[in-house]
Amino acid sequence: MEAGAGAYYAAAPHQGAMPGFGGAVDEQQAAGVGILLQISMLVLSFVLGHLLRRRKFYYLPEASASLLIGMIVGGFANISNTQKSTRRWFNFREDFFLLFLLPPIIFQSGFNLAPKPFFSNFGAIITFAILGTFIASIVTGLLVYLAGLIFIIYRLPLVECMMFGALVSATDPVTVLSIFQELGTDVNLYALVFGESVLNDAVAISLYRTMASMRTSSSGQNIFLVILRFLENFVGSMSSGVGVGLISALLFKYAELGVENLHNLESCLFVLFPYFSYMLAEGLGLSGIVSILFTGIVMKRYTFYNLSEDSQRFTARFFHLLSSLAEAFIFIYMGFDIAMERQSWSHIGFIFFSIVFILVARAANVFSCAYILNLARPPHSQIPREYQLALWYSGLRGAMAFALALQSVHDLPDGHGETIFTATTSIVVLTVLLIGGSTGTMLEALQVVGDSNCYRHPYEENFEGSSEEGTPSKSKFQLKLRDLRRSTSSFALLDRNYLTPIFTSQHEDDDDDDDNDDDSFA
């Protein structure tokens, strides 16, 4: 895996240079060619994506097109006599991905979150993202381990199987969500898929790191201690992100930076806070992804309304631009690295059964969580089978799984990491190209296009009389649901009466913004 571990930076000019500076010139030329190819592929990706959207050709979404462009260019570079100094500008480096490309995407996800659909479905989203990801990770890991025990596939130790289950449980439905927006699916279905995918990445990383720490630990750990460590990491990261977001809100409220000659300073400070949150969490050994996600949610809810109108327009457009560039860049880089990387194809059975196992694990995730949620809901608020199938089908694997698999190459010995990396690469290509390209057909077949209103949110209805039917156990679930409804309403009142006035100077615009955000989900 020399290519995957290669540096993405060009070597310093003096390294390996000849006395006549010929080496430095060659290095500069290679860097120029590498950057030119990157920019050319980005331009081609955006233009092709625009043409595909205009033609309403959903069989090749923009993310799939970017991945294909990277794979095609990487294939030509692999069979040509391209200099190694030029090639290394395209090597996918997981730390570069996690530190520079992923943060703007995750922050934009939280920042662009429509509050009402997200928080009205928050219980279901948390259930799918945390409990569901945990189920999918454990099911995948156990199936891979058991298949190895009976010699169906290449055998891996249990902890390494669990690491593989954790990394391959990270979903990335960028392709699916873009088609959801184009076709106009129900806002609740969009909120479920979007919210689960945003939190799912953070949960998968926390699980992977927890399993990796178990592997390196000299003594075995109790499963409850592992769960406690995971929850400690997740809650600590969330608290860190919320804290940074609230501090930024107070700073912008009382610093009075909205005057005309301080707009640049205001915008610069706003842009720096998300990275401060991310790096703070990483420095504390927590999850920067969880932290920056909740920083985005809090900064949009409170800090954003303390900015001047010019700064609001600039920051919204800036983060959207940064996120779009990063997403296209990631898929191009993935495609290029997949074509250039030396894959371990000696265990085809492991790859085939891994694909089968993740489909089974995704089904166990979605259908078991939906069953639990529906037990606590009245009949008119059940998550219908069509939505459950759409959720199952939307579980594409993407950049996060790819980056963690690349990390496993360094974490695992004896070629185990290479086997996991090749299996994950195959899963990413298959799901992004085949499943992503058939999403439009799937939505039409399930008849979930448009606001069908077949799924009504549980908190919008009056539940009086809904508990008259059913068994005593079902009545207990109805009581728990009422308690959850009251707690949700209490938090909304707390936010409206205390948090918003404390942290926001223009909170009277909040409700209008929420309504506008709802429209963006349609």
Structure tokens at 264: 């640049």
| Predicted local confidence at residue 13, as pLDDT | 45
| Predicted local confidence at residue 486, as pLDDT | 53
Q: Please identify every stretch of the chain with a pLDDT value under 50, giving residue numbers as ranges.
A: 1-20, 451-453, 455-474, 477, 481, 507-522
* Closest among 6, 5, 41 to 336, alpha carbons compared: 41
* Closest among 333, 241, 300, 329 to 503, alpha carbons compared: 300
> 161: buried, middle or exposed (CB in 10 Å: 19+, 13-18, 0-12)?
buried
Dist CA 156 CA 209 (whole Å): 18
pLDDT tens-digit profile of 98-135?
888 889 988 988 888 777 777 778 888 889 988 999 99
Domains detected in the chain: 94-446 (1.20.1530.20)
pLDDT tens-digit profile of 156-177?
999 999 999 999 998 876 667 7
Q: Provide the 10 A C-beta neighbour count for residue 133.
A: 27
Dist CA 94 CA 159 (whole Å): 21
Structure tokens at 154: 């290449």
Q: Are 300 and 249 in contact (CB under 8 A)?
A: no
Phi, psi of 220 (to 5 degrees): -65, 155
| Predicted local confidence at residue 298, as pLDDT | 92
Long-range contacts of 275-281 (CB under 8 A, 24+ apart): 275/103, 276/244, 277/240, 277/241, 277/244, 277/245, 278/103, 278/107, 280/240, 280/244, 281/237, 281/240, 281/241
Q: Provide the 10 A C-beta neighbour count for residue 162.
A: 26
Dist CA 262 CA 310 (whole Å): 11
pTM: 0.77
Q: Provide the 10 A C-beta neighbour count for residue 264.
A: 12
First and final C-alpha spacing in the chain:
44
